[in-house]
């Protein structure tokens, strides 16, 4: 089995769009009136969800005139949010065919299929021309990609000079054995974590200059604490959430990730860069 297939299979649900649609009545919604806010708990698959997206995106100068690239877009939740918030045109690419096909249906539900384009493919070899995009970001993507230099070189290739690029990834903080499974990997063979310094070197080598580096460890721990309190007060998870994606493995993967962060072995980091 190829490495890409191993990664893609890790995220495979099997019936994702029907699982999302089946949860809508509990929200008092249908496919005709569901909103981008209703879908955020399931289609922003990274620590902190929409709050984390906002924090990263607000550091980037996207506008209506920009064509933005969402690298490793998943279901396209952040793509739809950026398209709605900034009126930008957004193109997303992701390795998972199921995520892309599901994301296209969600775009159709929200009447955003004219603003958001989602394509299946590898971030290491994207089907886009040089200097195609005015800006880019990636949210929890690099943990499955070992060759960060090739990744950032490919992103740099498709960006225009001066374009901003925002990264929000889980990164290594210290040596030590991690607990698995976690949301991005069932075992260590598909977990390709790097340190912030390794990210910055790969970015510099690829043709970027970085301006900001933010450790979001405390934010992550607070987020999970609040999420746990919310579930306890409501007697269980909401109709839509990360459990919709990860199904029966949700509790174990989340628990292991929190423990790894608590032990300061890993943490989510933001890095803001610009193509030179």
Q: Which of 139, 148, 214, 216 is nearest to 184 (CA)?
A: 139
Q: Give CA–CA dist 209/223, Å, rounded.
A: 30
Could you list the residue range(s) of the whole structural domain that residue 232 is in? 3-275
- CATH number (domain holding residue 14): 3.40.50.150
Give the phi and the psi of residue 140 in degrees, each rounded to 5: 55, 60
Question: What separation in angstroms does the CA of 61 have from each of 45, 68, 140, 183, 219?
Answer: 23, 11, 20, 30, 23
Number of domains in the chain: 1
pLDDT for residue 147: 97
| pLDDT above 90: residue 46 | yes
Q: List strands edge to edge, sheet with 89-94.
A: 116-120, 89-94, 67-71, 133-139, 159-172, 266-275, 208-215
Q: Give tens-digit pLDDT for 128-175.
A: 999 999 999 999 999 999 999 999 999 999 999 999 999 999 999 999
Q: How far is CA 274 from CA 10, 156, 163, in A?
A: 32, 9, 6
| pLDDT of 1 above 90 | no
β-strand 89-94 against 133-139: which pairing, if any? unpaired
Q: Tens of pLDDT along 191-216?
A: 999 999 999 999 999 999 999 999 99
Percent of the chain scoring above 90 in pLDDT? 98
Which tops the pLDDT comparison, 1 or 45? 45
Residue 20: band (very low, low, confident or very high) from pLDDT cuts 50, 70, 90: very high
- Output the average pLDDT for the chain: 97
What's the predicted TM-score (pTM) here? 0.96
Q: Which pLDDT score, from 0 to 100, does residue 74 have?
A: 97
Amino acid 34: pLDDT: 98
Residue 48: pLDDT above 90?
Answer: yes
Task: Count CA within 13 A, CB hemisphere, residue 2.
Answer: 5
Check: CB of residue 166 under 8 Å from CB of residue 238. Answer: no
pLDDT tens digit sequence for 239-265: 999 999 999 999 999 999 999 999 999
């Amino acid at each position: 089995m190829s490495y890409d297939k191993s990664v893609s299979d890790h995220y495979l649900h099997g019936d994702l769009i029907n699982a999302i649609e089946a949860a809508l009545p509990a929200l008092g919604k249908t496919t005709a009136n569901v909103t981008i806010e209703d879908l955020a708990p399931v289609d922003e698959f990274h620590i902190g969800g929409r709050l984390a997206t906002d924090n990263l995106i607000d550091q980037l100068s996207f506008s209506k005139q920009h064509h933005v690239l969402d690298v490793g877009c998943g279901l396209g939740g952040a793509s739809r949010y950026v398209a709605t918030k900034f009126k930008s045109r957004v193109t997303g690419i992701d390795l998972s065919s199921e995520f892309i096909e599901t994301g296209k249906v969600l775009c159709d539900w929200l009447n955003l299929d004219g603003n958001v384009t989602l394509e299946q493919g590898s971030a290491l070899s994207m089907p886009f021309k040089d200097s195609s995009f005015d800006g880019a970001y990636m949210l929890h993507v690099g943990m499955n990609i070992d060759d960060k230099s090739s990744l950032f070189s490919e992103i740099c290739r498709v960006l225009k000079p001066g374009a901003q690029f925002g990264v929000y990834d889980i990164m290594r903080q210290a040596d030590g054995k991690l607990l698995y499974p976690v949301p991005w990997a069932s075992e260590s063979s598909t977990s390709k974590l790097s340190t912030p310094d390794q990210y910055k070197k790969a970015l510099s080598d690829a043709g970027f200059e970085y301006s900001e580096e933010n450790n979001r460890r405390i934010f992550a721990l607070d987020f999970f604490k609040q999420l746990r309190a919310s579930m306890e007060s409501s007697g269980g998870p909401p109709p839509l959430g990360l459990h919709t994606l990860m199904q029966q493995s949700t509790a174990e993967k989340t628990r292991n990730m929190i423990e790894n962060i608590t032990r300061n072995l890993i943490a989510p980091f933001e890095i803001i860069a610009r193509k030179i």
